Copies of this chain bind each other. A is one copy, B any other.
């Protein structure tokens, strides 16, 4: 026995409700302070502080000091991807929070997955990009095509600049509510920013859900028409 990596350690990290809630809050993509995270976890700052230290030691979180604040984020996008996959697994096993709740539909429609768009709309977007030949599926990964690059330029995304980052341009991320892949990576991030900048949609303060304006929704659906 005792083979392979230690899954119990990360299991324990996520296994505490307060920590799980803090991590979920960070899935919203915004850097949050220890005080904000304490509120998210439903605990005092003291307790949150020890939890955060633990999560940082476990390489799940990164922090940066700024003035007297300490901002926490997920260590990198692979943590976000991992958490999303756990949510998918949990949902599939019936490990739902007590009741679906009123915000749930909005969350399933469009939400933030760390830094990119997820939910029905996120999946629809990737499906369309693939169907239009903007993105190719290669093995496990995704790759932007030349025609895709020009198409994106036309809606105001400078792919060239994205390439210079060390981070992969395209990544697929398994959506917990749709059980299918959506687009992550720096391109996924850029697309979401683009929509937000254009005012098509806005993030909400206290939730991961993304709210589209009527006009924004119209434009988005025109750009990515097919339901599948």
- Distance in angstroms from A201 CB to nearest chain B CB is 18
Residues of B within 8 A of A25 (CB): 1
Number of copies: 2
Cβ B78 vs Cβ A89 within 8 A: yes
Cβ A206 vs Cβ B1 within 8 A: yes
The verdict on A13 contacting chain B, using a C-beta distance below 8 Å, is yes
Q: Which of A64-72, A96-104, A216-224 contacts B (4 or more CB under 8 A)?
A: A96-104
| Contact A4 to B24, CB < 8 A, known contacts A82-B89, A137-B138 | yes
Cβ A87 vs Cβ B181 within 8 A: no
| Contact A1 to B24, CB < 8 A, known contacts A83-B7, A92-B78, A140-B181 | yes
A201 to B208, CA, bound (A): 49
Q: Would you give the 0/1 interface string for A75-113, flagging 1 where the beta carbon is closer than 8 Å to chain B?
A: 000100011011111111111110001010001000000
